[in-house]
Amino acid sequence: MKTSGIVAKAVARLFLLLMILAIIPLFQVDTEKLHHLYIVTKSKWLFVFPVILVGGFVYFFIRCTLNKYKEPDSNWLLVINTLILMAYCATLFIRVYELTMK
């Protein structure tokens, strides 16, 4: 039980730290490039899955924090959700970084 709480805290803190670090390069780039960055898709359903991931992270983060990381199932779900969200954010960050740094 103790291991799941430690891992959940570490992964959640790492995610929040990476989000802060990912924002820094966007302030260093020319803002004119960011104004011309558009996301165009054929289907609006594409945005449902990132919203579910972020919503799941917020839900499990709040739930684990309120229960003081004592529920192992919620802790592991937070870990899995956060790792998938980190992978998604990394791919999105790399794509935006490539588009703005050219």
Q: Does a structural domain hold residue 45?
A: no
Q: Which domain holds residue 100?
A: 1-19+52-102
State the pTM of this model: 0.86
Q: Does a structural domain hold residue 25?
A: no
CB 24 within 8 A of CB 94: no
Q: What is the pLDDT of residues 11-59, one digit of tens each?
A: 999 999 999 988 887 777 667 777 777 778 888 888 899 999 999 999 9
What's the gap between Cα 68 and its chain centre?
Answer: 21
Q: Does a structural domain hold residue 27?
A: no
Q: Does a structural domain hold residue 32?
A: no
Q: Does a structural domain hold residue 37?
A: no
What residues contact residue 16 under an 8 Å CB cut-off, 6+ apart? Answer: none
At 40 the pLDDT is 80
